[in-house]
Amino acid sequence: MATVVELPVDLYKGPVDPDWCPGCGDFGVLKSVQQAAASLGIEPKDLLVVSGIGCSSNLPGFIHAYGIHSLHGRAVAVATGAHLANTDLKVVVTGGDGDGYGIGVGHFIHAMRRNLDITYVVMDNQIYGLTTGQTSPTTTKEHRTKSTPNGNIELPLNPLALAITTGATYVARGFSGEQKQLAELIAGGIAHKGFSLIDVFSPCVTYNKVNTYAFFKERVYKLEENGWDPSDAARSLQKSFEWGEKIPLGVLYKSEQPTYEDSEPVLRDGPAMIKRPLGLKPEVFGQLIEEMI
């Protein structure tokens, strides 16, 4: 096993300071992603952060690495293409519950069932923050919001249960108020070979007055402190529904399974498609480029 040389966290500080609301949980997530990359010794040139649209999706602009701020709900699809083109890169997707579990849920499901080797960090604040406080796919029932003044009548999506049943092989939940654990969970997801989901309680201090830091601090507990075994899919699925007075944090499920990259014949001959010869004469390649411009 190769020796991991930790790098300074400041190495990942972006040239632009975050502009989230003071107290936003996304600050903790950004710091945790930086700490995770540093602990794994990933050089900025070897890290790609992809996002969609939303407050949380501004994150690639605040970290020193390759970054793509893509279209609403399309972050996982863009990350898939980038990863399969260059499997040498560590690809981390960052976004919110609206972007990932709403318009982007189709891409999310298919990436998991393929067990692609990418890491998805979802800042789940259970509200649409960028558009000023409407219900999101994870908003709890009866929650009063701008779009549901009489209370939300829809059942919230359970991202952990969806991930376990769809094929993700690393499923975890973190909380931006528990930053040390969160950084460890993200590092574990990046190091894991397969699709990793880290769903993060990242409170929106401006528009969600229910799911606050105080709300979670009264309820969350760490699975690792109770000797949890994440290898049993059935038990992990059952645990994913625990919500109320007690809410679990940590790795709910982890399994070693063949990845899409391991199984696809085209990808067996080398680590990255971008490093393979095109098999075209330079003049033919030039003509193709000219036609597409």
Residues facing 173 on adjacent strands: 199, 250
The overall pTM is greater than 0.85: yes
pLDDT by residue for the chain (293 residues), tens digit each? Answer: 567 889 999 999 999 999 999 999 999 999 999 999 999 999 999 999 999 999 999 999 999 999 999 999 999 999 999 999 999 899 999 999 999 999 999 999 999 999 999 999 999 999 999 999 999 999 999 999 999 999 999 999 999 999 999 999 999 999 999 999 999 999 999 999 999 999 999 999 999 999 999 999 999 999 999 899 999 999 999 999 999 999 999 999 999 999 999 888 877 766 567 777 778 888 998 999 899 88
Tokens (6 digits) for 231: 């290898």
Please say whether the beta carbons of 176 and 162 come within 8 A: no
Please say whether the beta carbons of 120 and 196 come within 8 A: yes
Looking at residue 265, its pLDDT comes to 84
Looking at residue 270, its pLDDT comes to 61
Looking at residue 245, its pLDDT comes to 95
Looking at residue 75, its pLDDT comes to 98
> Rounded distance, CA 69 to CA 61, Å?
8
CA atoms within 13 A on the CB side of 63: 36
Domains of the chain: 9-292 (3.40.50.970)
> Rounded distance, CA 110 to CA 120, Å?
13
> Rounded distance, CA 179 to CA 228, Å?
20
> Rounded distance, CA 152 to CA 157, Å?
13
Looking at residue 97, its pLDDT comes to 97
> Rounded distance, CA 27 to CA 84, Å?
30
Strands ordered across the beta sheet of 66-69: 66-69, 47-51, 90-96, 119-124, 196-201, 170-175, 247-254, 220-222
